[in-house]
Amino acid sequence: MFKGILTPVITVLDEQGKLDFEGTKIVINRLIDNGINGLLFMGSIGEFFALTMDEKKEFVTFVVKHIAKRVPVLIGTGGTSQEEVIELTQFAEKAGADGVVVVAPYYFKLDEETIYRYYANLARSTSLPIMLYNFPDRTGSDLTPDLVLRLAKEFSHIVAIKDTVDNISHTRKLIQLVKRERPDFTILSGFDEYLLPNLMAGGDGVLCGLTNIVPELFISLLKAYRANDFEKVIAKQAKISTLMKIYDVTNPFISGIKGAVTLKGVPINTTVRQPAAAITQQQMNAIRDILVQADEA
């Protein structure tokens, strides 16, 4: 479940910072037309942290209806309030989403038992498939392989993890430990450049931001890998390595991803929610140079 190349979709906003549903349609249709295997809304790149509960519910209703089962729809429902996480997850279930992606609680560095209770309480409140989201650089806490295995064994509808750890050994240990007990459990890398090592270690793919910009690049790399066309694999991986520099152009990187999407010809606004700053022309020029270097301009 939820395997291959998945996109954490940017949240398109109009010039006033309001949800732009027409722009969102354009983004969604482009990703589906290019073969993306699933779409996550309101992930980190989707600015979940800057949206109100009412906006999140309105957005969930819209995307589920617009996608209409063309690809799996995942909703980011994680947060610091257990009650709000459960509320949004149950709303997503009733709206017809295919699953939720839930980041571990953040702000305090929590021990494993506390994180276990957070996910266990959620799992008991819904029948939706749940993807764990491990991002210790943001949460301060790691979802260890032992903790993931415990949750996967206890709750059959905890079906996957997005492992956003800048260390492929962590993901490899997850694959070796968890898949031994749950072969169906999906393990995705959260860092774009780890798609290839993820697959080679026995993982299932990637859920990463650059797919907003060049979805066809990641799909073609996956196809080349499955076809044992390693000359093409090497060439595609080299492009991804170059494109990774986009993440360093803006802080946070969300406006940089939106800017790169527009440079690929997608007619959307690059607006981000404050306190993040709008992308500058100098930053747009830097991203354009990176696209040229990767032969993706």
Active site positions, annotated: 44, 107, 133, 162
Question: CA 284, CA 6: separation in Å to the nearest integer?
Answer: 25
Question: CA 138, CA 172: separation in Å to the nearest integer?
Answer: 21
Q: Please give the sequence-ordered ranges of beta strands (E in DSSP) within 164-249, or none if there are none.
A: 186-189, 205-207
Place of tokens 């089962």: 69
Residue 174 · residue 131 · CB < 8 Å: no
Residue 64 · residue 97 · CB < 8 Å: yes
Q: Cβ neighbours of residue 276 under 8 Å, at least 6 residues apart?
A: 50, 252, 254, 255
Nearest C-alpha neighbor of 6 from the set 164, 242, 202, 169 = 164
Question: CA 10, CA 42: separation in Å to the nearest integer?
Answer: 8
Q: What is the SS3 assignment for 126?
A: coil
Quick one: how many helices (H) and strands (E) in the chain?
Answer: 12, 8
Question: CA 114, CA 179: separation in Å to the nearest integer?
Answer: 24
Question: CA 85, CA 78: separation in Å to the nearest integer?
Answer: 6
> What values do phi and psi take at 129, rounded to 5?
-60, 135
Question: CA 293, CA 297: separation in Å to the nearest integer?
Answer: 8
